[in-house]
Amino acid sequence: MEKRVHSIVEELSPTLLKWRRDFHRYAESGWVEFRTASIVASTLQEWGFEVKAGREVIKPEARMGVPSEAFLRQQEQRALSQGAVTEWLPRLSGGFTGVVGILDSGRPGPTVAFRVDMDALDLQESADADHLPAAEGFASVNANMMHACGHDAHTAIGLGLAYVLSRMKGDLRGRVKLIFQPAEEGVRGARSMVEAGVVDDVDLFFACHVGTGVPLGEVVCGADGYLATTKIDVTYRGVASHAGGHPEDGKNALLAAASAVLNLHAISRHSGGNSRINVGVLHAGSGRNIIPNHAAFKLETRGDTSEVNEYILSRAMDVIHGAAAMYGVQAEIDIVGKADSSSPSPELLPYIRAQASKVAGVTSIVDTRNASGSEDATYMMERVKQRGGLASYLVFGTTLAAGHHNEKFDIDERVLGIGVQTLALCALCAGDR
Amino acid sequence: MEKRVHSIVEELSPTLLKWRRDFHRYAESGWVEFRTASIVASTLQEWGFEVKAGREVIKPEARMGVPSEAFLRQQEQRALSQGAVTEWLPRLSGGFTGVVGILDSGRPGPTVAFRVDMDALDLQESADADHLPAAEGFASVNANMMHACGHDAHTAIGLGLAYVLSRMKGDLRGRVKLIFQPAEEGVRGARSMVEAGVVDDVDLFFACHVGTGVPLGEVVCGADGYLATTKIDVTYRGVASHAGGHPEDGKNALLAAASAVLNLHAISRHSGGNSRINVGVLHAGSGRNIIPNHAAFKLETRGDTSEVNEYILSRAMDVIHGAAAMYGVQAEIDIVGKADSSSPSPELLPYIRAQASKVAGVTSIVDTRNASGSEDATYMMERVKQRGGLASYLVFGTTLAAGHHNEKFDIDERVLGIGVQTLALCALCAGDR
Amino acid sequence: MEKRVHSIVEELSPTLLKWRRDFHRYAESGWVEFRTASIVASTLQEWGFEVKAGREVIKPEARMGVPSEAFLRQQEQRALSQGAVTEWLPRLSGGFTGVVGILDSGRPGPTVAFRVDMDALDLQESADADHLPAAEGFASVNANMMHACGHDAHTAIGLGLAYVLSRMKGDLRGRVKLIFQPAEEGVRGARSMVEAGVVDDVDLFFACHVGTGVPLGEVVCGADGYLATTKIDVTYRGVASHAGGHPEDGKNALLAAASAVLNLHAISRHSGGNSRINVGVLHAGSGRNIIPNHAAFKLETRGDTSEVNEYILSRAMDVIHGAAAMYGVQAEIDIVGKADSSSPSPELLPYIRAQASKVAGVTSIVDTRNASGSEDATYMMERVKQRGGLASYLVFGTTLAAGHHNEKFDIDERVLGIGVQTLALCALCAGDR
Amino acid sequence: MEKRVHSIVEELSPTLLKWRRDFHRYAESGWVEFRTASIVASTLQEWGFEVKAGREVIKPEARMGVPSEAFLRQQEQRALSQGAVTEWLPRLSGGFTGVVGILDSGRPGPTVAFRVDMDALDLQESADADHLPAAEGFASVNANMMHACGHDAHTAIGLGLAYVLSRMKGDLRGRVKLIFQPAEEGVRGARSMVEAGVVDDVDLFFACHVGTGVPLGEVVCGADGYLATTKIDVTYRGVASHAGGHPEDGKNALLAAASAVLNLHAISRHSGGNSRINVGVLHAGSGRNIIPNHAAFKLETRGDTSEVNEYILSRAMDVIHGAAAMYGVQAEIDIVGKADSSSPSPELLPYIRAQASKVAGVTSIVDTRNASGSEDATYMMERVKQRGGLASYLVFGTTLAAGHHNEKFDIDERVLGIGVQTLALCALCAGDR
């Protein structure tokens, strides 16, 4: 079977590159992946997948960090002008840019799900000649949006996987679900798909990432150690007053924020694991001689475990409310991102290793590796495991031109074929597990 | 009439000294003036005054800064052993050490009230030979209690005044009320007497103080500018925990207090007048490696006006509660003292000047003078003025051996006669106003 | 003499309006009054004044709050395109927009100086039809710059005064100096003119303001009570680091700033007078998950007296440096504005009253009135008084359409003539004092 | 050989109990172990050990957390009255209560060192009947000092070990050093013995502890994971002033401390391992209406590694000095305790296991176990390892009546014999390694 997979992917190879570079050129950030998602939906449908999209696969109130209505509308217009598939836009409109493609073999067998993410970062891509996407003309044409984390590759791998499976449907048992998720950056999107029930029927779940420091040719079967995290935006609203004339009439939002910030950082360590807290941005006040009536700050909490993160988060809420009470200001708190920690199912690792070992170009396979940072596919993994399924998070190594989130980030595109083959085998052999 | 007053006071002079030195020797601090008050009550009764005491003149729940039950009992025992008048103790028991003596002429006329205070300071008196009370053997025998503010003289003046009026009852019109107040130090006692209605029927009200920087022979008719103030004790109770082993289990009372203290001092200035805030004492925690579960601090607010003080106080409450909420600790807040600002009635000043000018030994009379600090007779003054009466606060100058609240504080006792005569004339001539 | 003055001003009246509206239309903010100053300089020269400008009258290093070189250049270009007088620009270039015109009678007599300010505020003027400047077409054409404090009127009064004196030079004794000051807003400009020696030879000094709540027809001879103030910009520079990966590598500028802000507001009150402190603006950090390496905040201190302000300022410096030391960040502190308190010379008030009383349209004259806020003419007043001269600050009342610093601020232009006449008489009669 | 050891210890058993109970009864806290140390020194000498004591084995300036001179003198007097050995006191006087006994076999072989600690805790022992030492009459007679951590047992084991080795000197090769250390509580004493060179010539080093949650019969060959820690006392000295009258004259030590405390707790986490910081005690100020001129606080830092602890410590110093600078107060910083982290030498564990396995009563032997808290024997371990030796930290399990540092702490004394035998074998067999 791996021969067949290999030959299809070989033949598909130029198309994989074309896809990846097209998504790269029209980079779209979280919740505004209108063009990307519409192309994915349209393509999957063409290949015989049952396609669900928009509110079918995204629970509206479970979305986090959604941009303003005005921005959503403006971005949708732009997507249209850049080749979005018109028929699909109404379902994605308003920031419902998730797509799920289902391929049912009609034969008994497990439901196997794959999740890829589609969003770009808020970053201006380098125009330097030594940056390959710029030199080759596929650098992002969208100002301040760039695929600097490899989600363009993930989307291309997802499409490639769909193509292979549609060609080999006869070899498949059970069902396959391909989940194209929006807004992974800032860990904002996965929860809304989980809450919509997207993984409730899944037996085997695979998420993946390219790069992350792993060399080309190496496959990590189960990345572990993603930190549980919560992203929070806080706005304090007080009352302005002339600082010389009537300072007593003010309710000082800046002082409330300063006090909150200090006390947030003073939240105790937890004996159950490492924790982090950071207020990364603070803006407050309007003029030197005005009691500031406005302060806004952005913070994040992290923990080795979800329990540790919840502890920090819960204490942070006390501090944020308490500081507001001290100064009589109104607090508006938005959870704009959230991810759990989740370990891969140990039972699944040998299976993944077995598939990866059949793939040409794979030179090293490791069972597990400690990830850094956070990732919201953990939401899906936790839900699958809670319901009795197995889940893992694969990493496909590739050479990076510059680190993730750097304006000169770029990948060795040979990883695309490796990713497609490995995942395809994971789907095709699942009936034999 | 002043002749008669003068001659009675002349004759009384040695007794005035004896009283003052006796009270000085058996100094009793706020709410435990058992010996002093019982002697006052007994003496007034003997001279024909109607005497009210204890709960008749003190509203229990309006008292502030009352010591513990154990201390009250222990002090009452000591008073008994030092010559308190046994019959009166039951009514004063439990910290109800206020006395009011009423002398009714039976003739129509105004109700004229005089207020003197009886309590000593928490201070160890000097035993040095150059300190006259020590040299002459009337230094306080009670450890850590000393009349270092002159209230012993005030009590003696009050008794002298009672004696003169009892002797000259035939010259009196209307009624006289002599108010002997406990717990002026820390501004704790006056409110409870006001709330008991003690000054509700008063037409003319006179409080007085000796010293305060005014030279012997000078009388100030209306001291002004007492700052409104509030004294507050705060206790935070959290949860202890081993700081190395399980820091997350603690609720840190010390951090809550540190945050409260900083933000209390950061309370805004007020355009309506000067304000002050001070956290003067803070004790927290039990061991280096324990998350502190206890913190206690003492603060005071002040303002040029009661409005300014109320602003600072109200903001302080927000801060104290907000800081507690930040750390999930329980806050216990006790108002242990309170005084308003109150200006003397301008209409009353010429009358006082007229009486003082008849007194031998008075060499200078000034209408008004800016006081410093706070004084709770202001409560009585405000109540009298609100109900249509007139009120003032007199200062009788005297030479001081050392400043008020100093361990070597002492007065020139010639001020006693001047005080008695001036106040007696204020009472006796009131019917002619 | 007042007849002559009156008739010249009567005749000049339409021109006064034209000047004021022209300056209003081309509003220029502090240190970029290139057009205004060049027109003033050129006009004074035409009328026979000796004119000093630029570095002759402004000490470079004593300027405060000067904009960036780029902004200065760009504004100078704009001034050129809006009718600045080309010959004068080189001397004003780079933010040296002060002008002094000297008229020497050649006869013995005092040196009399008048100071007017020329700068606009950073404020977008209202375009509403009910705003007269907008309705009549002289609203500011310069975005975000508006004469919302009346300095356009001050400049027009200064020119009118120059014109009258040039016409009546034969009646003058001694010398007159007309000081046109830049950058009064933010109290940034006066110090640099004082340091350049501009008022070192002055015997009588007059500054003035229109409006400030005083009704049309009223003249205040000596406004008093300007608060001493200092305006400070602080920048903290630390080290960025990933908040999840290596928080220990960061030096947190935001935390340093939060700590500074809290402790700045906690600076003690001063018994010598009212004080103020306000951190009005704070911006810090670049991203939620980055240890912030940058924080900038704007604060101001104030005091009833220069001593009180210096106390707050000195304590503020300790706090700013101490907070930087706590977090190992670099502190950059810029004093961007400063003014003293200064009282008018009492001896000068009757003289001013005498002149104002001769002016038609003046219906009320008051000796003194408490000002609010701060003003840097106080620097000049203090220097003049230190060197033995007399100084005062006049207010010419006028009806305001909206308060100072409001986007709909406007004046009743009848104040222009009143101002010119009063000041002209102050100059012309000075020889008779 | 183990037979011989067993039989000697069997016979010594009642004496071991006697010693332990005697030391328990006369509990002495850190640096005042005058009685204990003098008895140890005298006994070792009697048994033929070369004995070094006092300044020979303790570097004066490397001691930490030494009590006041007055307390040292008073305690030495008490020790004398409780049976201290007079001849030895002069060398121990002034807080030099360390003793080292050396037994040289005269034969070639390694230098083997054993370290036991002798100090009690500052804790009042329970007098309850259910507390065995109270019931049996050997509870501490010294107020507020109690052997609640088992160091009385350690000292007894050390003496027992000395006795066995003196009896079996003929079987010994190389040299044995028995180190009796003062002031382990608060991690104050070990550094001064290391700095005096006490372990510089040691090839094999063994420290030990009883209890710590390990059951009776179990021996841990190498306890690991002691946290590096530093104990710090901070005193701020400012200037007092009347809070109402002249607040500006004060330098507020309480505010400096509050600011320090908050910012200390806000010190960043470290990616290199767990860290802790705690300000456990704070006392500041003298009166409600006085600007506090004094504040004292006790803190500790901890880290998984010495590097992490040094990071927290270094940042703490910045905060402490910075907060002092903010308020113009003087900071006095005393390092009153310090311990490193140190892992046991892996090569030594099998040797220890071999010896323990020969001891009757040992039912379980584990190689390593994670300790909690901190321990300053790590200083000696690190020095030995740096100079090429091997080191480990043994735990001898025993049943506890109550946890360490509890007022009802007590041990099952059968651990004494197990400890003596294991350590004796470690000494006697070292020549064969």
pLDDT tens digits along C149-170: 999 999 999 999 999 999 999 9
C-alpha A82: how far from chain center:
23
Strands D111-117 vs D204-210: parallel, antiparallel or unpaired: parallel
Express each pLDDT in B194-236 by its tens digit. Answer: 999 999 999 999 999 999 999 999 999 999 989 999 999 999 9
Three-state DSSP string of B60-100: HHHCCCCCCHHHHHHHHHHHHHCCCCHHHHHHHCCCCCCEE
Residue B176 bridge partners (DSSP): B103, B112
Owner of token pair 């920087």:
B213
Residue located via tokens 């000075």: C430
Domain of A95 in residue numbering reads as 2-226+342-432
D410 shares a domain with D374:
yes
Amino acid type, A354 = A
Residues C334 and C202 in one domain: no
* Chain C CB contacts of B266 below 8 Å: 262-263, 265-266
- Co-location of B135 and B181 in the same domain: yes
> Do the annotations mark residue D147 as ligand-binding?
no
Q: What is the mean pLDDT of residues D298-313?
A: 96
Helix, strand, coil % (nearest 5) of chain D? 40, 25, 35
Q: What is the pLDDT of residue D249?
A: 93
| pLDDT band of B44, cuts 50, 70, 90 | very high
Across the B:D interface, residue pairs with CB atoms under 8 Å apart total 132
Residues C158/C114, Cβ–Cβ less than 8 Å:
yes
Instruction: Give the one of A245, A252, A298 whose C-beta lies nearest to C288's C-beta.
Output: A298
* Closest of D115, D34, D91 to residue D394, by C-alpha: D115
Considering the domain architecture, whether residues D274 and D198 belong to the same structural domain is answered as no
For testing contact with chain A, the best of D265, D276, D300 (most A CBs within 10 A) = D265
Phi, psi of C126 (to 5 degrees): -65, 140
Task: Taking residues D149-159, report their average pLDDT.
Answer: 97
Residue type, C396: F
Q: What band does A328 get if pLDDT is binned at 50, 70 and 90?
A: very high
Give the Cα separation of B125 and B24 in Å (integer). 10
Whether residues D147 and D222 share a domain: the answer is yes
Q: How far apart are CA C32 and CA C70, in angstroms?
A: 12
Contact A183, A72 (CB under 8 A): no
Residue D245 pLDDT grade (very low, low, confident, very high; cuts 50, 70, 90): confident
Q: Which among C323, C339, C355 is the end of a domain? A: C339
Angle between helices D151-167 and D2-25 (to 10 degrees): 140
Binding-site residue set of A for Mn(2+): 149, 151, 185, 209, 405
CA–CA dist B281, B77 (Å, integer): 31
In whole numbers, what is the pLDDT of chain B averaged over residues? 96
pLDDT, mean of residues B49-70: 97
State how far residue D344 is from chain C, nearest Cα, in angstroms: 28
Residue B64's contacts (CB-CB under 8 Å, 6 or more residues apart) are: B183, B186, B187, B188, B189, B191, B192, B231, B335, B336, B337, B338
Would you state the pLDDT for residue D104?
A: 97
Predicted local distance difference test score (pLDDT) of residue D406 = 87
Beta strands in B266-312 (DSSP E): 275-284, 290-291, 294-303
C242 pLDDT band, cuts 50/70/90, is: confident
Enclosing H/E stretch for A267: none
Residues 6 or more apart whose CB falls under 8 angstroms from that of A238 comprise A250, A251, A252, A253, A256, A291, A292, A293, A294, A295, A327, A328, A329, A330
- Model confidence at B296: pLDDT above 90: yes
Task: State whether A266 and D269 contact (CB < 8 Å).
Answer: no
pLDDT (mean) for B343-366: 96
Tell me how far apart the alpha carbons of residues C142 and C281 are, in angstroms, rounded to a whole number: 25
Alpha helices in A294-357 (DSSP H): 306-327, 349-356
ipTM of predicted complex: 0.85
CA distance D26 to D75: 12
Q: For residue A341, give how far its alpha carbon lies from the nearest alpha carbon of chain D (Å).
A: 18
Question: What's the CATH code of the domain at D82?
Answer: 3.40.630.10
Interatomic CA distance for residues D402 and D419, integer angstroms: 21
* Distance (Å, whole) CA D74 – CA D80: 10
Q: For position B123, what pLDDT does the model report?
A: 87
The answer to whether D283 is annotated as binding is: no
List the chains bordering chain B where 3 or more Cβ pairs fall under 8 Å.
A, C, D
The sign of the torsion formed by the CA atoms of B284, B286, B288, B294 equals negative
Q: Of all helices (H) and strands (E), which one includes residue D359?
A: none
Task: Tell me which chain C residues have a C-beta less than 8 angstroms from the C-beta of B268.
Answer: 265
Judgement on whether residues D27 and D121 belong to the same structural domain of the protein:
yes
Select the residue of B262, B263, B269 nearest C269 (Cβ to Cβ).
Answer: B269
Q: Tens digit of pLDDT for each residue in B117-127?
A: 999 999 899 99
- The total of other beta-carbon atoms located within 10 Å of residue A56's CB is 15
Q: Is the pLDDT of residue A300 over 90?
A: yes
The alpha carbon dihedral of A372, A375, A379, A381 has a sign of negative
* Facing B269 at nearest CB: one of C262, C263, C275: C275
Average pLDDT of span C92-105: 98
**pLDDT at position D370:** 85
- Amino acid type, B117: D
Phi-psi region of A323 (alpha: psi -120 to 50; beta: other; left: phi over 0): alpha
State how far Cα A304 lies from the chain centre.
Answer: 19
To the nearest whole Å, the CA of C65 is away from the closest chain D CA by 26
Question: Chain C residues with CB-CB distance to D under 8 A?
Answer: 245-248, 250, 252, 255, 259, 262-263, 266, 268-272, 291, 311, 315, 318-319, 321-328
Instruction: Tell me if B71 sits within 8 A of B6, measured CB to CB.
Output: no
Helix locations, D97-213, DSSP H: 132-135, 151-167, 190-195
The mean pLDDT of B9-25, rounded to a whole number, is 97
Residue A171: phi, psi to the nearest 5? Answer: -90, -5
D350-390, pLDDT tens digit by residue? 999 999 999 999 999 999 998 878 899 999 999 999 999 99
The secondary structure of chain C, three-state, reads CHHHHHHHHHHHHHHHHHHHHHHHHCCCECCCCHHHHHHHHHHHHHCCCEEEEHHHCCCHHHCCCCCCHHHHHHHHHHHHHCCCCHHHHHHHCCCCCCEEEEEECCCCCCEEEEEEECCEECCCCCCCCCCHHHHCCCCCCCCCCECCCCHHHHHHHHHHHHHHHHHCHHHCCCEEEEEEECCCCCCCCHHHHHHCCCCCCCCEEEEEEECCCCCCCEEEEEEECCCEEEEEEEEEECECEECCCCHHHCECHHHHHHHHHHHHHCCCCECCECEEEEEEEEEECCCCCEECCEEEEEEEEEECCHHHHHHHHHHHHHHHHHHHHHHCCEEEEEEEEEECCCCCCHHHHHHHHHHHCCCCCCCEEEEEEECCCCCCHHHHHHHHHHCCCEEEEEEECCCECCCCCCCCCCECCHHHHHHHHHHHHHHHCHHHC
CATH code, domain with A292: 3.30.70.360
- The arithmetic mean of pLDDT across residues A224-234, rounded, is 94
Chains in contact with chain C (at least 3 beta-carbon pairs closer than 8 A): A, B, D
Mean pLDDT of all residues in A58-68: 96
Q: What pLDDT band is residue A399 in, cutting at 50, 70 and 90? A: very high
CB atoms < 10 A from the CB of D397, how many? 24
Residue C282 has a pLDDT of 98
User: According to the annotation, is D131 in a ligand binding site?
Assistant: no
Mean pLDDT of D273-279: 95
- Please give the tally of structural domains in chain B: 2
- How many angstroms separate the Cα of C196 from the Cα of each of C53, C61, C101, C201, D144? 11, 10, 15, 12, 73
Examine the domain organization and report whether D311 and D334 are in the same domain. yes
The one-letter code for the residue type at D430 is A
Same domain (yes/no): D303, D404:
no
**pLDDT beyond 80 at D231:** yes
Tokens of B147: 């009349």
Mean pLDDT of D397-426: 95
Q: Quick one: closest CA in A to C258, which residue?
A: A258
Q: Is D2 annotated as a binding residue?
A: no
**Residue of D264, D331, D329 whose CA lies nearest to D291:** D329
CB within 8 A of C170, min separation 6: which ones?
none
pLDDT at D294 (0 to 100): 96
CB contact under 8 A, C244 and A302: yes
Q: Which two tokens stand for residue C293?
A: 């390496």
* Record: contact A311-B252, CB cut-off 8 A: no
C-interface mutation test, from D236, D246, D248, D271, most C Cβ less than 10 A away? D248
Choose the final residue of a domain: B317, B339, B361.
Answer: B339
Residues B412 and B265 in one domain: no
Confidence of residue C1 (pLDDT cuts 50, 70, 90): confident
| Cβ neighbours of D324 in C, within 8 Å | 322
Beta strands in A228-274 (DSSP E): 228-237
Residues from C in contact with B at Cβ < 8 Å? 262-263, 265-266, 268-269, 274-276
* DSSP-assigned beta bridge partners for residue A50: A102
Q: Which of D291, D323, D339 is the last residue of a domain?
A: D339
Of A265, A290, A302, the CB nearest to C255: A265
Q: Which chains touch D (3 or more CB pairs under 8 A)?
A: A, B, C
Q: Domain check: are A211 and A233 in the same one?
A: no
Q: Which of D259, D269, D301, D319 to mutate to test the interface with A (most CBs of A within 10 A)?
A: D269
Q: Report the gap between the CA of A283 and the closest CA in chain C (Å).
A: 5
pLDDT digits (tens, 9 = 90+) for A7-53: 999 999 999 999 999 999 999 999 999 999 999 999 999 999 999 99
Judge: B266–C266 Cβ closer than 8 Å, yes or no: yes
Same domain, A125 and A112: yes
Give the model's pLDDT for residue B320. Answer: 98
What are the pLDDT digits (tens) for D156-198? 999 999 999 999 999 999 999 999 999 999 999 999 999 999 9
Query: pLDDT per residue over B127-163, tens digit each?
Result: 999 999 999 999 999 999 999 999 999 999 999 999 9
Average pLDDT (C423-427) is 97
> C375 to chain D, minimum CA–CA distance in Å?
25
D7 burial level (CB within 10 Å; 0-12, 13-18, 19+): exposed
Task: Tell me the C-alpha distance between B99 and B58, whole Å.
Answer: 9
Nearest to B337 by CA among B227, B191, B236, B224: B191
- Supply the pLDDT for residue D307: 95
B32 and B116 in a common domain: yes
Q: Which residues, in sequence order, are CB contacts of D314 under 8 Å at separation 6+?
A: none
Query: What radius of gyration do chain A's Cα atoms show?
Result: 23
> Are the C-beta atoms of B378 and B226 separated by less than 8 Å?
yes
Interface with D, mutate which of A265, A299, A319 (most D CBs under 10 A): A265
Instruction: Give the whole-number percent of chain A exceeding pLDDT 70.
Output: 100
Neighbouring C-beta atoms of residue A87, cutoff 10 Å = 11
Mutate to test the interface with D, among C241, C248, C312, C317 (most CBs of D within 10 A): C248
Query: Where do runs of H (alpha helix) occur along B299-374?
Result: 306-327, 349-356
Q: What is the pLDDT of residue D356?
A: 97
Contact flag A263-D268 (C-beta cutoff 8 Å): no
Residue B275: its chain C contacts at CB < 8 A? Answer: 269
CA pair distance D155, D15, nearest whole angstrom: 13
